[in-house]
Structure 1
Amino acid sequence: MSTVQPDAAAVESVGLSAKQARILRYLRENAAEKTYFKSRLIADELDLSAKEVGANMSAVVDAATEIDVEKWGYSSGTTWMVTL
């Protein structure tokens, strides 16, 4: 029996790495409650560095179909605007 979740399989089909898939899943799960996400706060939640989040966001932005992800600002770290 496979333990792969359906959304993980769909993410793999668009060629995301495991880190990118985790970031995308985090944004999808939290976009209804929140609009702006700082890279360092995403990193804290996912046990990554802010640099890892930033390095992987371009692939996440390209793969996100059910949410819109846009680089929003740089003050005290990169902020991403996420909308449904």
Structure 2
Amino acid sequence: MVSDLELQTTAYNSTQQRIINYLKAGVSSGTRFFKAKYIAKELGISSRAVGTNLALLAEKCLELEIVQWGYSTSTTWMVKARQYLN
């Protein structure tokens, strides 16, 4: 579990913050699967930029659990909110 203080100290660049905001809106009801190409289209950035940033966020994002899930026509990512302490 993650404390509020830890959530406040994680810094993201503007692209990463846009991706996180997009993912948070999608996982409000639980676990969800996202394709990088659809995130890219929605946010107006390249699929490569989405994939690169999601790989980084999978390591450092404390708010969301991000797992690379599949590689079919576009990389699929499993995302769910992490539980944290108040």
| Structural RMSD (CA) | 2.2
Residue of 18, 23, 43 corresponding to 1:22: 18
Residue range with higher mean Cα deviation, 37-46 or 61-70? 61-70
| Contact residue 10 and residue 61 of structure 2 kept, 8 A | no
Q: What percent of counterpart residues are identical?
A: 34
Aligned length: 75
Quote the residue 2:37 is aligned against.
40
Quote the residue 2:52 is aligned against.
55
Cα distance change of structure 1 residues 50 and 12 upon mapping to structure 2, 3 Å threshold:
farther
Quote the residue 1:7 is aligned against.
none
**Structure 1, unaligned runs of 5 or more:** 1-10
Residue range with higher mean Cα deviation, 71-80 or 49-58? 49-58
Could you tell me how far apart the structure 2 residues matched to 1:45 and 1:13 are?
A: 28
| Contact residue 16 and residue 59 of structure 1 kept, 8 A | no
**Structure 2, unaligned runs of 5 or more:** 1-6, 82-86
Quote the residue 2:70 is aligned against.
73
Query: Alpha-carbon deviation of 1:12?
Result: 8.5
Runs of 4+ in 1 over 6 A off after TM superposition: none
Residue range with higher mean Cα deviation, 73-82 or 29-38? 29-38
Could you tell me how far apart the structure 2 residues matched to 1:80 and 1:63 are?
A: 15
**1:17-63 CA distance string (max 9 Å, x none):** 11011111111111124610000000011011111101111222223
TM (norm. structure 1) is: 0.75
